[in-house]
Amino acid sequence: MQTHHEMPPINILPVNKISVSVEEASQVTGIPAATLNVWRCQGRGQSM
């Protein structure tokens, strides 16, 4: 198994009052994690 030290830490984004990882959000919504990261950086996640 590979260690997670090679990968950047998973960013946490606020969804209402529940904090979920980008990876979890991508699995639930079907939106690629990369897209969610871009939206989070642009502040779109704050409007939910």
pLDDT computed for residue 41 by the predictor? 72
* Chain segment 1-48, per-residue pLDDT in tens: 555 456 566 665 555 545 567 788 888 888 888 887 787 777 665 544
Task: Return d(Cα 27, Cα 23) in angstroms, integer.
Answer: 6
pLDDT computed for residue 48 by the predictor? 46
Domains of the chain by residue range: 10-47
In three-state secondary structure terms, 18 is strand
